[in-house]
C-alpha cells in the first residue's frame, strides 16, 4: 500500500482558557509511524502555564511565535530557567522535565518534533505529568504520598486534591513565577533567526543548521535541525538525505510548490505547502521546493545530529562530479547538450534565485 505523503495540520488534543496542545496523528500522517517520529504544538495564552512533565521521547522544541519562560531540568541537574522567544530551538533529551509559561499578551507557540522509537506508541508522544488532574500525585494513595515526601495527612490531601487542571492551566495575574536567568540559557537554546548563517545565497535563500557544534545537547537527542528561508520565487535544489536520515518539515511562513520523487522515478507528491503544514520525506526520496512570491520558510528535524545531504543541481550538485562521457551515455545526448547542461548553475549552490 502506498503511503500518503500529503502535508497535514495538527489537531487539538486538550486545552482550556490557559492554552491548548495540538498533535499530528499517525493515522492521518502514516509516515509518522513509519519513521517513528512524533510532532506536536503547544499554544499558551496570557498567563498560560504548561504544567511540569516529562516525555517518552527525545525532542527538539522550536518557538514559532511569542515569548515566554521555560523551565528545564535535566536528569540529576538543577533547574534551568530560560527566557524563550520566536526563533529559539531547544534540545530536550530523554528524562528532561519541562514547564512553559507565557506572561505576555501575544500567544506563545512552541513546536515539538522528536524520535518515538523508544516511546509507548510509534509516531506519537506520551507525556507524563508531575502535577495536575492527571499527574502522578493523583495516582498514588495518600499513605504513599505521606511516606514518600514525609508530609502529614492534610498536606498529602492538599497535594492530591487541589489539582484540577489537565496539562495546561491559567494562573492568576498576581502569581509570581521564576524569573529567567541569562547564564542558564547558555548551551540550552539557540536562536535560529539570529545565529550565523551556514549558507546564504543572495536573492535566493539561507539556512541555519542546528548540530552538535552550536548546540551540543542535540547529540544527546540524536537529532539535527535546520531553519531554511527561501526568497520569493526562489527554488531549493532537488536533493536527498544520503545517510538514510528522515527529514520532518514544518512550514513556518509563506507558501510554495513542493515535489517529491521516489522509487522508479515516480513523482509521489506534488502539492502547495502553507503555514502549519507538516510533512515527512521518506529516506532517499528526492525533494524540491519553489517559493511563492511571498517567500517560504520551514523548520525541519533530521534523524541524525549531523546530517549529510546530496544535492542534484547547482554548483555543488552531484552531476558536476560525473564525467562528461558518462553523462552523455547516461542521458543519451550529444556532447553539445551535455556541455550546455554542465555549463549551467556554476555559481548557485543549493538555492536558486528567480529566473530573470
pLDDT for position 309: 67
If 0-12 CB within 10 Å is exposed, 13-18 middle and 19+ buried, where does residue 335 land?
exposed
pTM: 0.91
All cell numbers assigned to 310: 546530496
Q: Any idea what the Cα angle at residue 236 is, between residues 230 and 240, rounded to 5°?
A: 135
- Burial pattern 198-221, b for ≥16 Cβ within 10 A else e, equals eeebeebbbbbbbbeeebebbbbb
Q: What is the pLDDT of residues 100-124, one digit of tens each?
A: 999 999 999 999 999 999 999 999 9
Alpha-carbon 290 to chain mean position: 21
Residue pair 256/316 in contact (Cβ under 8 Å)? The answer is no
In which residue ranges of the chain is pLDDT below 70? 1, 242-244, 306-320, 345-349
If 0-12 CB within 10 Å is exposed, 13-18 middle and 19+ buried, where does residue 342 land?
middle
pLDDT for position 313: 63
- Dihedral sign for Cα 117, 122, 123, 128, please: negative
pLDDT for position 160: 87
pLDDT for position 293: 97
pLDDT for position 305: 78
Between the alpha carbon of residue 341 and those of residues 189, 196, 345, 346, the distances in Å are: 43, 33, 9, 10
pLDDT for position 315: 56
Q: Any idea what the Cα angle at residue 350 is, between residues 347 and 353, rounded to 5°?
A: 65
Q: What is the pLDDT of residues 217-246, one digit of tens each?
A: 988 999 989 999 999 999 998 888 766 688
Amino acid at each position: 500500500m502506498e503511503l500518503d505523503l500529503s502535508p497535514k495540520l495538527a489537531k487539538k488534543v486538550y486545552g482550556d482558557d490557559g492554552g491548548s496542545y495540538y498533535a499530528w496523528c499517525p493515522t492521518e500522517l502514516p509516515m509518522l509511524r513509519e519513521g517513528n517520529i512524533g510532532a506536536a504544538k503547544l499554544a499558551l495564552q496570557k498567563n498560560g502555564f504548561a504544567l511540569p512533565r516529562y516525555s517518552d521521547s527525545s525532542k527538539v522544541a522550536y518557538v514559532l511565535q511569542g515569548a515566554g519562560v521555560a523551565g528545564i531540568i535535566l536528569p540529576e541537574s538543577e533547574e534551568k530557567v530560560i527566557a524563550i522567544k520566536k526563533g529559539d530551538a531547544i534540545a530536550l533529551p530523554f528524562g528532561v522535565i519541562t514547564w512553559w509559561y507565557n506572561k505576555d499578551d501575544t500567544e506563545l507557540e512552541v513546536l515539538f518534533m522528536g524520535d518515538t522509537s523508544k516511546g509507548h506508541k510509534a509516531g506519537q508522544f506520551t507525556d507524563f505529568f508531575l502535577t495536575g488532574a492527571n499527574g502522578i500525585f493523583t495516582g498514588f494513595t495518600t499513605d504513599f504520598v505521606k511516606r514518600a515526601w514525609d508530609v502529614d495527612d492534610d498536606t498529602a490531601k492538599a497535594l492530591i486534591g487541589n489539582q484540577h487542571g489537565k496539562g495546561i492551566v491559567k494562573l492568576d495575574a498576581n502569581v509570581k513565577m521564576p524569573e529567567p536567568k541569562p547564564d542558564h540559557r547558555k548551551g540550552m537554546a539557540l536562536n535560529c533567526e539570529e545565529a550565523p548563517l551556514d549558507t546564504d545565497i543572495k536573492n535566493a535563500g539561507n539556512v541555519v543548521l542546528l548540530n552538535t557544534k552550536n548546540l551540543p545537547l542535540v547529540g544527546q537527542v540524536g537529532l539535527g535541525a535546520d531553519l531554511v528561508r527561501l526568497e520569493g520565487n526562489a527554488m531549493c535544489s532537488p536533493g536527498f538525505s544520503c545517510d538514510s536520515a528522515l527529514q520532518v518539515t514544518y512550514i513556518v511562513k509563506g507558501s510554495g510548490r513542493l515535489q517529491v520523487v521516489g522509487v522508479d522515478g515516480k513523482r509521489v507528491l506534488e502539492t502547495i505547502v502553507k503555514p502549519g503544514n507538516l510533512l515527512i520525506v521518506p529516506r532517499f526520496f528526492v525533494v524540491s521546493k519553489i517559493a511563492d512570491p511571498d517567500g517560504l520558510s520551514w523548520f525541519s528535524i533530521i534523524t541524525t545530529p549531523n546530517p549529510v545531504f546530496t544535492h542534484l543541481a547547482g554548483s555543488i550538485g552531484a552531476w558536476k562530479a560525473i564525467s562528461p562521457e558518462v553523462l552523455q551515455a547516461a542521458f543519451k545526448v550529444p556532447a553539445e547538450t551535455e556541455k550546455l547542461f554542465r555549463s549551467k548553475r556554476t555559481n548557485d549552490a543549493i538555492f536558486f534565485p528567480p529566473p530573470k
